[in-house]
Structure 1
Amino acid sequence: MMSEALHPPESAYNLIPVEETKKEKAPRYVSKFRPAVILEKKLIKEPIRTMGPARVELPSTENFLKKHSKEPKLPEKTQSSKDVHKTCSFTERKPPVPTRNDRPLMGIHTKRDFLKETAVVVPMKPHPTYVDTNKGHKQVLENSGLVPKFIMKKDYGRVPVYLQQYSKEEKRAREEYENFVKGEWEQRAMKHLTEEERQTILKNLKETWDKLHHEYQALPLIIETSSQRATKDRLERGMKQLEDDISLFERFKIIYIPKDN
């Protein structure tokens, strides 16, 4: 195959025999943990751990199944009833029949007095019912809701205890929430300036405006450099802001400011 690949089929080099080279296979991969796995498998192995029936002893040849061995057997015969009657008759004798002249014993009560049981018989009262159809269909009156049995209770018309407790808890929770909201509003409320503080601030604003105006008047009439122009703009903005603040404090007598400032 190599000669045909290297040379064309009509080449003389194809006549030279070429030794066939066999490719050697790489050795089979064997894990380095194989001995440890085999050892662990031997240590963990237990009897009857895999699937299959348990090893039991085979029955011996002597305990083979015999004929009629599984048929039900009758109980063994005991002493006959006649013999039992004879033995009882000799051991326990009944008292003789009383004669007509004998008087019965008075004041003896047996375990069950049939006369009293039959004499004191209270007739059963019929359950009150009502008829709801023209064919005589009856229903128990107590379960119909027509009997005023609830208004006869002692606690009729009173508010249950669990409702009173629920209303108390709801009222307490509402009060706690209102107190919390009130405290938050008081913390976040704005501070009210007094008249003295307002006059002091107004005086300071006017003094600051006078200082800026004095600096502004000291500027030259002809502004040529950029620094002079920037100073003029700064002074004009400052005076304009101070004039707005002064007019605000003069116009409003009551002024609020945040507590944090």
Structure 2
Amino acid sequence: MPTPCTQESIYNLLPRREQRPVEPPRYISTFRPSVKREAQENKAQCKTMGPAKVAVPSPKNFLQKHSKEPKLPARQKEQDKKLPALSVPRRTERPVMGIQSKKNFINTNAVAAITRLPKKPQPVYVDRRQGDKYLLETSGLVPKYINKKDFGRTPKYVTKRNEEERRAREEYEASILETLKKRAMKRLSDEERTSLLQGLRKNWKEVYHEFQRLPVQIDTIPKKLNKEKLETQMKQLEHDIEVIEKHKVIYIADE
């Protein structure tokens, strides 16, 4: 099929009117009137440009010279100042003579000086031949502490501390007892402890008696093993006896 080609025509020579595409109408929100109304209602008057009308200052209230400088209070007149009422003696007046006090200070001071006890010298000590003197009270040579009423008594703070330690020890022992009770541990009584010690000592004597019965010459392996076994048993028994004698309170766990 042959390709179509534009044929020359007289109608193509005439100018054609340009056809513009039809644009769709612009979108307008349905809430536009309500938004405009709310913005008009909530608009602050004179928010950025200042007040619409400002009171114009009067030309009579202009800034005068030295009006902002601090001012001193008004000076009082000399007539306003009132001096205290003092009776100043005249030049021709003379003081009254011959007036004496009831107390004779001269005689009083003399009697007091005569009857006063002599001042005791301050106790000092000399430690060098050049005569250097030091106070005896601060030297530690004066037995002033043994003359106190509470000398030799236990101080209160020591008694208080001992009481606190005893209370803390009792609380600790009580907590241990409570813990041991929870763990179901049995405390060994004194009779059981004594019988246990006697039994251990009896066993040690038996093992020691058997150890003494060993031959002097140990030349075989069974004899050496027997000797080592007896020595181990004796050491273990001695250790157990020492532990039980050292601790008076012994607890046994129920297994």
Q: TM-score, normalised by structure 2?
A: 0.36
Structure richer in helix, relative to its length: 1
